Chains A and B, each alone.
Chain A
């Protein structure tokens, strides 16, 4: 069965960087894209970008351009999302999600990683 397991919560100071990991299992890692979505406390879902593990090509939401980098490691089946120059409004739960085959949707999600940015 498909599982996406994310790294644990992080507390960072404003201006620092955070790197969240998402380990995939139960399917061929390079067959499906990985999207990153975040959710600030009490707020809705916000799409950050996605990456194709097969070729490493990433597409970022304009809001995060220049501040986010998404990568994958095919040898371990892990996707990473690094966010730099953290601000207090980056405090959120960050989710990775797998693209469902041949659809524009996400069928499996990680459990979420809480990133807290203190000022």
Chain B
């Protein structure tokens, strides 16, 4: 069973860059029909897809965040990462990494537990 675990600072100052890493265990991020996504959820609100990466097919980003987002992958560590620049209080949320199946169907079938990131000075 694939497991995902987010890690990174829980507090980021306004205008700085939020950096998170997702470590995948129980399967290789290089194999199969899977992309690897980041999704966030402000407290008490709904889910927002941030973007995704696949090693040989590149990335897709949410246009609403595209100018500030970079998702990268380190296959040697079986990790993928999120960088979100110029953060404001509106970026305060629980950030999830998720396995993104994109083949004959499209869904997120494995999620990390989530990590709360607060943007505050």
Task: State yes or no: do A and B come from one complex.
Answer: no
